[in-house]
Amino acid sequence: MPGLRAPSDYKEEPSRHPALVINSKEPFNAEPRRADLVSSYVTPVEFFYKRNHGPIPIVQDLHKYSVLFTGLKGSSKELFMKDIWKLPKYTVAATLQCAGNRRTAMSKTRKVKGVGWDVAAIGNAVWGGAKLADVLELVGIPKCSHVTSNGGKHVEFVSIDKCKEENGGPYKASIPLSQATNPEADVLLAYEMNGETLNRDHGYPLRVIVPGVIGARSVKWLDSINIIAEECQGFFMQRDYKMFPPSVDWDNIDWSTRRPQMDFPVQCAICSLDDKSVAKPGKITIKGYAVSGGGRGIERVDVSIDGGKTWVEAIKSQKAGNPYIPDGENSDKWSWVLFEAEGDIHGSTEIVAKAVDTAANVQPENVEVIWNLRGILNTSWHRVQVRMGHSNL
């Protein structure tokens, strides 16, 4: 690919904020500290989690960079950045969450495979770019298509990074054509994040953003887009990011029995406290985030200061006059809410939060019942142990 280059080692990585908690250095996987995550509704780029499977690609010549479209009715087409920039620009506020968020806590039940994450493999950004539905229309696929005239039903995104899971090949994933061509699904080919040009870590020059879906489908550093009949057969679709029941382990797994995970379930986490928090008796403030997948909003967040015996409803804040977010009914449809509650504690205790989405889905009480060998989608009630003593809050 002229214009974009994928290094095979880690000598040319971008610089990163020193306050990030690094979970793996090569490939670079890092998340902000809990308290930094909820200090603003829109996550600053430098505090946004970084999830990679190989070295970060480098743009050598933006004018030569193009995305190749294959599987069209006629011959393949190439689009350059100038073609993408010409399309109407949309800004979509959307929360991106790694399916591995909260994996470390799941691994305490039983061993799981994958990079350990605390609760901050998630962020809320304002993505700017062209709608994929407009881009596909430009290459000849009408809006709201379920199947193309030559039998295409899925849209595959292929990157150029070198991933060991793909034997040195690129990261790839797909989404259904119906979602890709539906303007209301707000799938973007994004070139901006929070009003700035996308940076290398997050997919410069062009990435996909699939709102409401696990981060794994939002492919960074796009190289080609293929219209295909069956869903993408790559590692990250077929042998990873699938949700198995607790009875399945490495000795009895059959990957073909499950579909690739798409929407993420209802989730929340407390970010103002962790298991090292020490408090004095008296008022305690509990802050965190809540989000659900598929465009379902958050109906309610319940907080308990006695390990789940009694609950109070937290106050939610959303959007709150953020200058990046355009007004309009659905402008926060794909975004998290931040929540806050207060309680009065008298002794060491367990603080718990659980969210309910607009379809009345609620988080599961225990992590044990959703344990899975890859440690994905830990959405169990979030619990924090707070001790009494000389306060460090």
Binding site for ligand MTE (CB under 6 A): 48-53, 96, 98, 159, 161, 171, 202, 215-216, 218-221
**307-345 burial by CB neighbour count: b if 16+ within 10 A, else e?**
ebeebeebebebeeebeebeeeeebbbbbbbbbbbebeb
Complex with ligand MTE: residue 172 or 383, whichever CB lies closer: 172
Q: Tell me, by CB under 5 A, how many residues bind Mo ion.
A: 4
Count the neighbouring beta carbons within 10 Å of the beta carbon of residue 108.
Answer: 9
Shortest CB 375 distance to Mo ion, Å: 11
Preceding peptide of 205 cis, ω within 30°: yes
The binder of Mo ion chosen from 173, 216, 338, 370 (CB under 5 A): 216
Q: Is 98 in the site for Mo ion (CB under 5 A)?
A: yes
The binder of Mo ion chosen from 54, 170, 215, 375 (CB under 5 A): 215
- In order of 6, 15, 54, 159, 320, the CA distances from 10 in angstroms are 10, 12, 8, 17, 40
**Residue facing Mo ion at closest CB distance:** 98
The answer to whether 242 and 374 have CB atoms below 8 angstroms apart is yes
C-alpha span between 215 and 239 (Å, rounded) = 16
Shortest CB 377 distance to ligand MTE, Å: 12
The answer to whether 382 and 119 have CB atoms below 8 angstroms apart is yes
Q: Site residues for Mo ion, window 50-89 (CB under 5 A)?
A: 51
Residue 162 near which of ligand MTE, Mo ion, none (CB within 5-8 Å, type-dependent): none
Q: Is 260 in the site for Mo ion (CB under 5 A)?
A: no
Complex with ligand MTE: residue 98 or 367, whichever CB lies closer: 98
Q: Is 355 in the site for Mo ion (CB under 5 A)?
A: no
Residue 218 near which of ligand MTE, Mo ion, none (CB within 5-8 Å, type-dependent): ligand MTE
The identity of residue 112, as a single letter, is V
Q: Is 373 in the site for Mo ion (CB under 5 A)?
A: no
Shortest CB 215 distance to ligand MTE, Å: 3
Torsion of CA 373, 213, 124, 334, to 10 degrees: -140
> Interface residues with Mo ion (CB under 5 A)?
51, 98, 215-216
